[in-house]
Chain A
Amino acid sequence: GAGVSQTPSNKVTEKGKYVELRCDPISGHTALYWYRQSLGQGPEFLIYFQGTGAADDSGLPNDRFFAVRPEGSVSTLKIQRTERGDSAVYLCASSLTIVTEAFFGQGTRLTVV
């Protein structure tokens, strides 16, 4: 597609449930990033992939969060046993390489009730 696509755009889930957020990057972009943005804050880094491998996952808050990119294109962010504090907008971005500018998707707004 022309831009980074994220699905769903909104997700409401109950505390304790498992959720998956999907990101479809710009075609040909090798680097893919996940960020989390809380209200009134700047995006915070979670993880990035170079190809299929996670090059840096130091931003994942705990072991309930996991992300994959099995074929070097689409990525899925997985959150187990969701908590109310996980509520935020999850942003995905991709870039041609890790030193070029990143282009962001419209985000997935996750609400844990």
Chain B
Amino acid sequence: AQKVTQAQTEISVVEKEDVTLDCVYETRDTTYYLFWYKQPPSGELVFLIRRNSFDEQNEISGRYSWNFQKSTSSFNFTITASQVVDSAVYFCALSGGGGSTLGRLYFGRGTQLTVWP
């Protein structure tokens, strides 16, 4: 079964602090894909990143970075020098690589990040 756990329901930080959002996943697939999406108050889910299970290299994009560790089944997301505009709900998601799990996204419950000025 596919499962994504985001243990942090809410996080509050002050602007310019670094913050890490945790994501732990479960899957029996050897090929799978991991995603992060941002959902601002407007409601639209915004795609941030997609990684496949064979690529464990960490990735940095501006103030965003992602740490993928297969050994701990984690795909954590760090925002450096947070800004008020980063306030949103962040979702981690998993998609299988074949069969009945291919195509569909399994989402965690999300982490509400609030950045105070």
Q: How many Å lie between the Cα of A107 and that of B35 in the bound state?
A: 19
B68 CB–A CB distance under 8 Å: no
| Chain B residues with CB below 8 A from A48, complex form | 103-104
Q: How many Å lie between the Cα of A44 and that of B109 in the bound state?
A: 10
Interface residue tally for chain A (C-beta within 8 Å): 28
With beta carbons under 8 angstroms apart, the residue of B42, B47, B97, B110 that contacts A101 is B47
Q: Is the CB of A42 within 8 A of B43?
A: no
Q: Is the CB of B104 within 8 A of A91?
A: no
Q: How many Å lie between the Cα of A56 and that of B102 in the bound state?
A: 9
Q: Is the CB of A43 within 8 A of B105?
A: yes
| Chain B residues with CB below 8 A from A89, complex form | 43
The prevalent SS among residues of B at the interface is strand
| Chain A residues with CB below 8 A from B45, complex form | 43, 91, 93, 104
Best-buried of A91, A93, A102 by chain B (most CB within 10 Å): A102
CB distance from B8 to the nearest CB of A (A): 13
CB distance from B70 to the nearest CB of A (A): 19
Q: Is the CB of B104 within 8 A of A33?
A: yes
CB distance from B9 to the nearest CB of A (A): 9
Q: Is the CB of B42 within 8 A of A106?
A: yes
A31 CB–B CB distance under 8 Å: yes
**Binary interface profile of A, 89-110, with partner B (CB < 8 Å = 1, else 0)?**
1010100001111111111000
B91 CB–A CB distance under 8 Å: yes
Please report which residues of chain B, range 64-84, place their CB below 8 angstroms from some CB of chain A when the two chains form the complex.
Answer: none
| Chain B residues with CB below 8 A from A58, complex form | 100
| Chain A residues with CB below 8 A from B55, complex form | none
Interface residues of A (CB under 8 A from B): 31, 33, 35, 40-45, 48, 50, 55-56, 58-59, 89, 91, 93, 98-107
Query: Can you pick out 29 interface pairs between chain A and chain B where the beta carbons lie within 8 Å of each other?
Result: A31-B103, A33-B103, A35-B105, A42-B4, A42-B108, A42-B110, A43-B45, A44-B107, A45-B105, A48-B104, A56-B103, A56-B104, A59-B104, A89-B43, A91-B45, A93-B45, A98-B102, A98-B103, A99-B102, A100-B50, A101-B47, A101-B50, A102-B47, A104-B46, A104-B47, A105-B44, A106-B42, A107-B43, A107-B44
